[in-house]
Amino acid sequence: MNQDAVLVTRLKHPDTQNQAFRELVSVYQERLYWHIRRIVLTHQNADDVLQETFIKVFRNIDGFKGESKLYSWMYRIATNEALSFLKRNSKIQGISGEEIQQNQLANLRADPYFDGDQAEYELQQAIAELPEKQRLVFNMKYFQEMKYEEISEILETSVGGLKASYHLAVKKVERHLKQEGIETTKTKD
């Protein structure tokens, strides 16, 4: 039985679940945080979504059958939570998904936990302009250096489709940065 399987068994058992949950949070909190943060951008929003993600994991662990890896399952929940958060916000404010992305970027400027320079801000701007799927793939591949096979399991998309998405995303990001006069080093395909 691998470590994840042991952890899942302990999470499902009432006597051990609290301690196991603490361990789970400790192991995955940072990785999930950074994944969520790149989708919702500001720290405050990332914190809300991260908490919701772990609460969902805790409540639904009984339904986890082990058909995918534990971290893939958690990443999927985190991704869905982050995207739902953005959609909910766009509905509440009565604006489109593109507009909510632009609002998120404007909020990023005021976020005390962002100290990126102009180039880093422009990179976020370029990423925000990507369609949802390409944005996710770009973040997971470029920043988190995940393998296509791992992303495929999380997003439930074929490796071929992911490669196409990443290729298109890289081209658009490079085009955007070039237009802004920012030098880019060749992004790996």
Partner 1 sequence: MESNSGRSGFKVPKGYFEHLPDQIARRAGERLNSPGPAKTGFQTPEDYFETFGDRLEKRLQKKETPVRSLKWAKHFWIPAAAAAILLLLLWSPSSPAAAPEFGDINVEVLEAYLQTEEFELTPSELAENISLSDLAMEDVLDSAPAAQQIEEYLENNIESDEELYWEPNE
Q: For residue 144, what are the contacts with CB-CB under 8 A and spacing of at least 6?
A: 31, 34, 35
Q: Give the single-character DSSP code of 127.
A: H
CB 90, min distance to partner 1, A:
10
Nearer to partner 1, 79 or 134 (CB): 134
Nearer to partner 1, 107 or 157 (CB): 157
CB 125, min distance to partner 1, A:
12
d(CA 70, CA 87): 26
CB 116, min distance to partner 1, A:
2
CB 1, min distance to partner 1, A:
22
Quote the distance between the C-alpha of residue 70 and its chain's center.
16
Nearer to partner 1, 145 or 183 (CB): 145
Helix (H) or strand (E) holding 119: helix 118-128
- Asked whether 73 and 53 are in contact (CB, 8 A), the reply is no
The region that residue 31 occupies, defined by phi over 0 for left and psi between -120 and 50 for alpha, beta otherwise, is alpha
Nearer to partner 1, 66 or 160 (CB): 160
Nearer to partner 1, 75 or 142 (CB): 142
Quote the distance between the C-alpha of residue 36 and its chain's center.
4
State the residues that interact with partner 1 by CB under 8 A: 22, 25-26, 29-31, 33-34, 37-38, 43, 47, 50-51, 54-55, 58, 91, 94, 113-117, 120-121, 123-124, 131, 133-134, 142-145, 157-158, 160-161, 164-165, 168
What are the CB-based long-range contacts (under 8 Å, 24+) for 92-100? 97/132, 98/129
Amino acid at 95: I
CB 5, min distance to partner 1, A:
20
